[in-house]
Amino acid sequence: MYVGGSDDMLSLEDGHLHVRPASEPVGHRGTVDTMLISLVEHAHERAVAVVLMGLGSDGAAGVAATKKFGGLSIAEKAEGKEGLSQENAGPSAFVDLYLPVQEIPEQIRLYADNFNEAEGTEAEVRLPAEIEAHITQIVTILRNVTSHDFHGYKRGTFTRRVQRRMQVLQIATIEDYVERLRANRDEAQNLFQDLLIGVTQFFRDPGEFEALEREIPRLFKDKEPGDQLRVWVLGCATGEEAYSIAMLLREHMASLDYPPEVQIFATDLDARALAIARAGRYSAAISSQVRSDRLARWFVREGDTYCVAKDLREMCIFSPHNIVKDAPFSRVDILSCRNLLIYLDSDLQNRVIPIFHFSLRPSGILFLGSSENVTRHSKLFAPVDRKSRLFRRLETATRVIPDFPLSSRARSLDVSLPSQTPLLQTGRLSASISRQAEVVAERYAPAYVVVDSHFDVLHFSGRTGRYLEPASGTATLNLLSLAHRDLRVDLRSALQRASTEAVRVEIPRVLLRQDDRTHAVNLVVEPLGTSDITSIVVLFQDAGQVAEGIASEGARLTNEEHVQRLETDLRVTRDRLQATIEELESTNEELKSSNEEYQSINEELQSANEEMETSKEELQSVNEELQTVNGELAHRVAELDRTNSDLKNLLEATQIATVFLDNDLRVRSFTPAATEVFHLLETDVGRPLDHVVSRVAYPELQDDVRTVLRSLVPVDRQVSNGAGDRHYAARVLPYRSVDNYISGAVVTFTDLTATHRAETALRRSEERLQLVLETDAVGVIFFDSDGVIFDANGVFLKWTPSCPSW
């Protein structure tokens, strides 16, 4: 077990615990989330995250990652608290289990035991197949409890989520889990929440958002101040994507004098995630996702959280919505559905994408995730930036009317239907194409049709019955299948030429046999538009009825012309085939050349691999050297610690007040005894010495320090405190480093109070003795150790002048 320090960042890398100092200030580190995310990325379903009370919003991203990788997350349950609020934005709102702290260790033990017993056994392999056999029952229970149908949910994902819930609850068989679902509505809700994978962030995949930003001016181009630009964000989760799009729109609106109104509809199934989105409050981790200028403009810092600005919040409407059963929004300019389709099976995807086409305005933008595409619906959407998954809505031959709810069809997760195009109803043409067609029709006033680039009819005029003869079989709108058989050859040729060369094609007097009569028809095929040809108008000009004899002769001539035309087409086809063969040969040569280049690159890669192997060995050798050096450094650090301890004890034992100064006379450090001489605190380190109040009368201290720094000669003084009852021997010396570099000064104060008192007492005793010796009433003599008199005062000498011993 390892407990990190307050300034440590912990992460699990390559199976080892990695500790590094935190570079960010406290409150901006994301310590808990960093550790949990690295843990689950390494251990996956083996990871267990325990979130105790008092963390606030810290750990929410780590718990979300635990759910994503299949691990177990547990939150501490406070005493007397029965449930968990849906609006809780912290990590506890997303955990698997919510338990009192005394029950958490036992739950972890059961989880580990159950995981180890199941791993590598036959049951582990057999369980997914057993779950698939009961999917229909589970989906039915979920629909009855939550009113949401998961028949179209991708089978593999659904199975993994069910298996994960069984692992969390330590349920061994799928039958027991189904019974648990039937008996416990809370477990059905827990499984429902596990199926809702809300993985999102601000400006996820920044390059794709930059591509969307480039398309925004085009969407605003035709908008008037009174118009509305509408955005629909499906699967918005906790709202980051909706607010990201709102920032892009707001930034462009700032460049317009009279911008239109913008409304963003953000929908999701998860009510808890929508509550977080409505609050618009996010952790400080978003500072790594949002540019600093946008962070300052669109967010308000509140403690350790960021709140979305009011302007963005008012643009967004968050509401629950189920794309499977609820009717879609309409007249949408931008539809964002990122990383939602990947959880739906192919059949449901093919039914959802036409709904997107129905919701969008003409030329509206569909914004998908990096793993999603609409390649099967090329007639509904055209790529704007295929790499960034941006698509533009196309105007189709008929308008798609989706059916609701999508779950009404009898479908199952294990049934994979082929892609089918929904039945197309009566269509309409965009106003611009209709106007162009009417201009051409007014010029010729014949019967006409408008077709797209695939020759499917977009628009019929009146009186086209003579020229169109639908074939039996499956209904189709392709003009070549609808046209009268006598017109098909000429019509095909004219359409192909008009579409490839973008020119107007006229074919006069094509004979049409109908009701035993022969009619002459002039065909006119003209592209609509100038650059990108998306529509072609075909006009049928009636040239009148042809007499029978002339018709026969005309038929004979027509047949000859038809033969010549066929021969010409055959010749052109042969030329094209020859050109294709030549291109194929050239391509083969290029492929051979590319293959040789690839072989050369492969050899270079093999050489590079060998070099990497050599480098790996060198790195291993360097690693061993670093380990040796690290051992030596650890030994030196231990010695340094011992030396520092010795010095600390020495300074404390001597009771000498010492202050260490740098060259600018700032306090670098001091001994505990120095607090008796100066008013020093730990916070005074780094302050100038003249800012510290002294307890002694030493006004010359700074001058003495400067003198010592210049001359490098120590200075000694005797100083006293203000009351005069304490005396010190002050000494100022230069501070020399081990390499004899002068990097400051050392000021010491030795307490001389006891010595000073002894000297004073001795001096007073001497004075008193002198007074005694000088008095006239006492005679005093002094003996040495041998009893010999060596001194006497005058009184004694007066009293004994005739003593024989003298």
Range of lowest pLDDT (193-207, 265-279, 401-415, 525-539): 401-415
Which tokens in the block code for residue 326?
A: 């609820």
Same domain, 436 and 534: yes
How many other C-beta atoms can be found within 10 angstroms of the C-beta atom of residue 300? 13
Same domain, 347 and 437: no
**Gap between the Cα atoms of 340 and 215, Å rounded:** 22
**Gap between the Cα atoms of 574 and 580, Å rounded:** 10
Count how many Cα atoms sit within 13 Å of the Cα of residue 655 in the half-sphere of its side chain. Answer: 4
Same domain, 751 and 678: yes
Same domain, 283 and 216: yes
- CB-based burial label for 435 (10 Å; 0-12, 13-18, 19+): exposed
792: which residues sit within 8 A by CB, 6+ positions away? 779, 780, 781, 782
Same domain, 672 and 745: yes
Tell me what the mean pLDDT of segment 548-560 comes to: 55
Sequential DSSP letters for 655-690: T-EEEEE-TTSBEEEE-GGGGGTB---GGGTTSBGG
Same domain, 235 and 305: yes
Helix (H) or strand (E) holding 597, with range, is helix 548-654
Residue 403: its pLDDT value, please? 57
312: pLDDT strictly greater than 70: yes
Count how many Cα atoms sit within 13 Å of the Cα of residue 340 in the half-sphere of its side chain. Answer: 23
621: which residues sit within 8 A by CB, 6+ positions away? none
**Gap between the Cα atoms of 349 and 339, Å rounded:** 12
Which tokens in the block code for residue 442?
A: 């007014």
Considering only residues 92 and 605, tell me which one the structure prediction assigns the higher pLDDT.
605
- The alpha carbons of the chain give a radius of gyration, in whole angstroms, of 47
Range of lowest pLDDT (88-102, 608-622, 740-754, 782-796): 88-102
Q: Which residue has the tokens 């006598």?
A: 486
Total count of domains within the chain: 6
Which tokens in the block code for residue 673?
A: 């005894």
Residue 639: its pLDDT value, please? 81
**Does residue 567 belong to any structural domain of this protein?**
no
Residue 65: its pLDDT value, please? 67
How do residues 75-123 score in pLDDT, each as one tens digit? 887 665 544 443 344 555 567 777 788 888 887 877 777 666 555 444 4
Q: Which of 514, 461, 517, 523 is nearest to 485 (CA)?
A: 514
CATH number of the domain residue 59 falls in: 3.40.50.180
How many other C-beta atoms can be found within 10 angstroms of the C-beta atom of residue 494? 22
How do residues 487-533 score in pLDDT, each as one tens digit? 888 888 888 888 888 888 898 888 888 777 888 888 999 988 655 56
Range of lowest pLDDT (477-486, 491-500, 761-770): 761-770
Range of lowest pLDDT (254-258, 394-398, 407-411): 407-411
Tell me what the mean pLDDT of segment 584-590 comes to: 84
**Gap between the Cα atoms of 79 and 442, Å rounded:** 83
The beta strand positions in 30-107, using DSSP E, are: 48-51, 72-76, 97-99
Q: Which residues pair with 102 in a beta bridge?
A: none
Residue 244: its pLDDT value, please? 93
Computed from CA positions of residues 310, 314, 315, 316, in that sequence, does the dihedral angle turn out positive or negative?
positive
- CB-based burial label for 734 (10 Å; 0-12, 13-18, 19+): middle
**Gap between the Cα atoms of 337 and 304, Å rounded:** 31
How many other C-beta atoms can be found within 10 angstroms of the C-beta atom of residue 201? 18
The three-class DSSP label of residue 135 is helix
How far, in Å, are 8, 449, 459, 465, 490 from residue 462 at the CA level?
80, 9, 10, 8, 22
Same domain, 169 and 219: no
**Does residue 643 belong to any structural domain of this protein?**
no
Residue 27: its pLDDT value, please? 52
Domain limit, last residue, from 519, 546, 573? 546
Identify residue 126 by its one-letter amino acid code: R
Domain limit, last residue, from 546, 565, 592? 546
Same domain, 736 and 782: no
Task: Indicate the pairing of strand 261-268 with strand 228-234.
Answer: parallel
Residue 680: its pLDDT value, please? 86
**Does residue 142 belong to any structural domain of this protein?**
yes
Domain limit, last residue, from 502, 529, 546? 546
- Cα–chain center distance at 660: 50
How do residues 144-196 score in pLDDT, each as one tens digit? 777 666 766 767 777 777 877 777 777 778 888 888 888 877 777 777 777 76
Whether the bond between 405 and the residue before it is cis, its omega within 30 degrees of 0, is yes
773: pLDDT strictly greater than 60: yes
**Does residue 726 belong to any structural domain of this protein?**
yes
448: pLDDT strictly greater than 50: yes
263: which residues sit within 8 A by CB, 6+ positions away? 228, 229, 230, 231, 315, 317
How far, in Å, are 30, 343, 351, 581, 585 from residue 590 at the CA level?
53, 41, 42, 14, 9
Same domain, 314 and 170: no
Residue 405: its pLDDT value, please? 57
128: which residues sit within 8 A by CB, 6+ positions away? 159, 163
Count how many Cα atoms sit within 13 Å of the Cα of residue 674 in the half-sphere of its side chain. Answer: 22
Same domain, 474 and 511: yes
Cα angle value 193/199/202 (rounded, 5°): 135
Helix (H) or strand (E) holding 161, with range, is helix 155-169
1: pLDDT strictly greater than 70: no
First-last CA distance in the chain: 95
**Gap between the Cα atoms of 9 and 23, Å rounded:** 9
CATH number of the domain residue 531 falls in: 3.30.450.20
**Gap between the Cα atoms of 358 and 92, Å rounded:** 40
Residue 154: its pLDDT value, please? 65
**Does residue 612 belong to any structural domain of this protein?**
no
Q: Which residue has the tokens 């260790």?
A: 105
C-beta of residue 453 within 8 angstroms of C-beta of residue 534? yes
Helix (H) or strand (E) holding 329, with range, is none
Q: Maximum distance among all alpha carbons in the chain?
A: 198
The band of 335, judged by pLDDT with boundaries at 50, 70 and 90, is very high
The band of 600, judged by pLDDT with boundaries at 50, 70 and 90, is confident
Tell me what the mean pLDDT of segment 439-443 comes to: 56
Question: Directed axis angle between helix 104-118 and helix 122-133, to 10°?
Answer: 100
**Does residue 37 belong to any structural domain of this protein?**
yes
**Does residue 413 belong to any structural domain of this protein?**
no
Same domain, 277 and 384: yes
Residues spanned by the domain of 272: 206-408
Task: Indicate the pairing of strand 299-302 with strand 517-528.
Answer: unpaired
Which tokens in the block code for residue 761?
A: 């007492």
CATH number of the domain residue 260 falls in: 3.40.50.150
Which tokens in the block code for residue 368?
A: 């998908």
3-state helix/strand/coil string of 484-520: CCCCHHHHHHHHHHHHHHCCCEEEEEEEEEECCEEEE
Tell me what the mean pLDDT of segment 284-295 comes to: 84
- CB-based burial label for 309 (10 Å; 0-12, 13-18, 19+): middle
**Gap between the Cα atoms of 348 and 352, Å rounded:** 6
**Gap between the Cα atoms of 626 and 572, Å rounded:** 75
**Gap between the Cα atoms of 35 and 441, Å rounded:** 71
How many other C-beta atoms can be found within 10 angstroms of the C-beta atom of residue 664? 8
C-beta of residue 331 within 8 angstroms of C-beta of residue 229? no
Q: Which of 140, 172, 139, 173 is nearest to 158 (CA)?
A: 139
Same domain, 228 and 377: yes
**Gap between the Cα atoms of 645 and 64, Å rounded:** 47
How do residues 23-60 score in pLDDT, each as one tens digit? 655 554 557 767 777 777 777 777 888 888 766 656 66
C-alpha dihedral, 596 to 599 to 603 to 608, nearest 10°: 110
**Gap between the Cα atoms of 94 and 67, Å rounded:** 8
How many other C-beta atoms can be found within 10 angstroms of the C-beta atom of residue 677? 25
**Does residue 524 belong to any structural domain of this protein?**
yes
Residue 88: its pLDDT value, please? 46
Residue 362: its pLDDT value, please? 87
Q: Which of 537, 531, 360, 503 is nearest to 434 (CA)?
A: 537
- CB-based burial label for 637 (10 Å; 0-12, 13-18, 19+): exposed
Range of lowest pLDDT (140-144, 177-181, 409-413, 542-546): 409-413
